[in-house]
Amino acid sequence: DLSISTAEAHGHSVIIANDPDVDRLALAEKQPGNTNEGGRGNWRVFTGNEIESLLGWWTIENF
């Protein structure tokens, strides 16, 4: 909730977070045009498998 609140306050649409020893990664993206009951945007939190697929796709496209 803290990362979402901070992203909302600063107008960001992507959240990337990691733990202190950097062996885990979290990724979330604000979904356009959708808000929940509290007026905040709806956020899509990606699973580890989805993040790996995105990184693999990006690597293939760019190297």
What is the model's pTM? Answer: 0.74
Domain hosting 8: range is 2-62
Taking only the tens place, the pLDDT of each residue in 1-56 is 899 999 999 999 999 999 999 889 999 999 987 666 666 679 999 999 999 999 99
d(CA 10, CA 51): 24
- Residues shown for the chain: 63
Residue 47 φ then ψ, to 5°: -80, 165
Q: In this structure, how many other beta carbons lie within 10 angstroms of the beta carbon of residue 29?
A: 15
Q: How many separate domains does the chain show? A: 1
Does residue 58 register a pLDDT over 70? yes
Does residue 62 register a pLDDT over 80? yes
Residue 21 has what DSSP assignment? T
Residue 12 φ then ψ, to 5°: -90, 150
